Structure 1
């Protein structure tokens, strides 16, 4: 949202204490934040919104993903998936990080991330040849 040509930003604090200043348009994509943010005269009602279940690495990634999708100008499933794959590859991210991203997105209520993210995670799991491979991938110990 804009007010007199200026953009509105929200301060989000990850669980490790890092502040993230994000455009209100992104913040309003988070169902958890949309419910508590009130915009009055171009200003939001909270100084800092704490995110108890999201660390800074995850938050930075989500912001980067959303910005990448918005830069393309389309937020459809295939575009979201392509941007997600590219960012994960650029960071040499493990499948466990993708799971962490999905948990954070679920907590935030970021539905536009959940669909491409869960499909990508399903593809990763389906590419495994055995349950042992899945356990190794996600650091799950055997009984």
Structure 2
């Protein structure tokens, strides 16, 4: 068991296992942002479990992206809404990510209960959809087959 303490103490980490079996060691401050993990990780009296926490609906690529996004947002500071969306847009662009990956990220953030990411991501997704000139363009971007 690890003990939570003041900012002067050594950071506390928890282990999260993605659906594809990859272990991610993350700072407890990030893990506690996940509503799905908050109750599992915290035992009582500020003490946290060293057990691996399984994430059945999040693969390693998605988890790594969320960790990177959270780290950038924390390092930059500022208004979480604006900063979060700007960082997300930049990271997606740097990875040449398809719009479908953004949808995958939103599904994972909803599952995890990561509201700050979900808010930034849904706004970005709305911007992507609004930038499309037609329903055909939306279908192409999101790889949706026509129903005729």
Range into which the TM-score falls when normalised by the shorter chain: over 0.9
Do 1:8 and 1:42's aligned partners in 2 also have CA atoms closer than 8 Å?
A: no
Do 1:69 and 1:75's aligned partners in 2 also have CA atoms closer than 8 Å?
A: no
The partner residue of 1:34 within 22, 35, 38 is 38
Measured in 2, the distance between the counterparts of 1:50 and 1:74 equals 32
Aligned residues: 143
What root-mean-square deviation, in Å, do the aligned CA atoms of Structure 1 and Structure 2 show? 1.6
Report whether the alignment pairs 1:140 with 2:140: no
3-state DSSP class of the match of 2:40? coil
The partner residue of 2:135 within 120, 124, 131 is 131
What corresponds to 2:100 in structure 1? 96
Measured in 2, the distance between the counterparts of 1:114 and 1:70 equals 16
3-state DSSP class of the match of 1:12? strand
TM-score by length of 2: 0.90
TM-score by length of 1: 0.93
Measured in 1, the distance between the counterparts of 2:91 and 2:142 equals 19
Q: CA deviation at 1:74?
A: 2.9
Measured in 2, the distance between the counterparts of 1:96 and 1:104 equals 12
Measured in 1, the distance between the counterparts of 2:79 and 2:114 equals 13
CA offset digits 1:29-60 (Å, max 9, x no partner): 00000021125576522510000000000000
3-state DSSP class of the match of 1:22? strand
User: Which runs of no fewer than 5 residues in structure 2 stay unpaired?
Assistant: none
Q: 1:15 to 1:62 in 2, by over 3 A?
A: same
Measured in 2, the distance between the counterparts of 1:75 and 1:48 equals 32
